[in-house]
């Protein structure tokens, strides 16, 4: 019998694409074009962040969202968490040149995340995992003031578990491509003591975008904690 403990890394698509690693390094170096969704998320934060606030970027990759904050002069203490060892390592190597200490990027799975911060940003993550409810609950618990999400949302839900054809040669892995019911997600968030509204994604204008050959219906969700709410659900 053989029992291993490396299943997460072995089966994670994010650690099996040299193209993604090269792109995320360029983004961490601020040498790639700013993602439209990163720019939009930062603009949504401008009116919410106060000097000295803390922000957690969940699924941060190499931490390049810090550049979108810096460009707009958003005075916030940036932290990032991601489950990909390769992408976190890139961020730890590249971001200190921009004033982000390496310890601000944590190798961490959502299941292990606890703590408290003022603001949470999570983009393009929940649509590619089993289901949104448990991880989103965790984000709502730790966010003291606001949560900014970008996910595939629409009228009704769909779940696909499909082969990712864009990985390194010889790698045969599958990934979830989920669309969640927008109203269900909004009501879920509100049940944890937040206001919640969806915002049209500027990159796609509400139209589906093909990612790894599958349609994604990107939308932003902006959630603000109601004064006095504890986030207990």
| CA neighbor of 80 nearest in space, from 45, 40, 111, 110 | 110
pTM: 0.95
Residue 155 domain flag: yes
pLDDT one-digit tens code per residue, 77-130: 999 999 999 999 999 999 999 999 999 999 999 999 999 999 999 999 999 999
pLDDT one-digit tens code per residue, 50-66: 999 999 999 999 999 99
The Cα-based distances of 70 to 61, 109, 163, 213 in angstroms read: 17, 26, 36, 33
Interatomic CA distance for residues 164 and 93, integer angstroms: 28
Q: What percent of the chain has pLDDT over 90?
A: 93
Report the first-to-last Cα separation within the chain, whole angstroms. 42
Overall domain count for the chain: 1
Residue 109 domain flag: yes
Residue 232 domain flag: no
Do 196 and 189 meet the contact criterion of CB atoms below 8 Å apart? yes
Question: Any residues with CB less than 8 A from the CB of 85 and at least 6 apart, and which?
Answer: 9, 15, 107
Residue 231 domain flag: no
Residue numbers of the domain that contains 91? 7-225
**pLDDT at site 216:** 96
Interatomic CA distance for residues 89 and 63, integer angstroms: 10
Residue 150 domain flag: yes
Residue 1 domain flag: no
Model confidence at 229, pLDDT cuts 50, 70, 90, reads: low
Residue 189 domain flag: yes
Give phi and psi for 25, each to the nearest 5: -70, -45
Can you give the CATH number for the domain in which 191 is found? 3.40.50.150
3-state secondary structure labels for all residues of 153-173: EECCCEEEEEECCCCCCCCCC
Residue 201 domain flag: yes
């Amino acid at each position: 019998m053989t029992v291993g403990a490396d299943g997460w890394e072995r089966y994670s698509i994010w650690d099996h694409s040299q193209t993604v690693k090269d792109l995320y390094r360029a983004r961490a170096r601020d040498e790639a074009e700013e993602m439209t969704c990163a720019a939009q998320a930062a603009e949504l934060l401008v009116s919410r962040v106060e000097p000295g606030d803390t922000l957690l970027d969940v699924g941060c990759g190499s931490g390049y969202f810090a550049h979108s904050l810096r460009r707009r002069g958003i005075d916030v203490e940036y932290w990032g968490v991601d489950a990909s060892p390769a992408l976190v390592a890139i961020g730890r190597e590249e971001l200190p040149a921009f004033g982000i200490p390496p310890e601000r990027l944590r190798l961490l799975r959502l299941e292990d995340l606890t703590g408290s911060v003022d603001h949470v940003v999570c983009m393009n993550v929940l649509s590619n995992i089993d289901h949104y409810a448990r991880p989103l609950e965790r984000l709502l618990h730790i966010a003291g003031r606001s949560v900014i999400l970008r996910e595939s949302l629409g009228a009704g839900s769909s779940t696909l578990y499909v082969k990712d054809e864009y990985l390194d040669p010889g790698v045969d892995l599958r990934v979830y491509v989920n669309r969640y019911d927008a109203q269900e997600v909004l009501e879920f968030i509100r049940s944890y003591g937040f206001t919640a509204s969806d915002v049209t994604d500027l990159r796609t204008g509400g139209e589906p975008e093909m990612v790894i050959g599958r349609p994604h219906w990107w939308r932003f969700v902006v959630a603000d904690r109601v004064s006095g709410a504890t986030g207990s659900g």
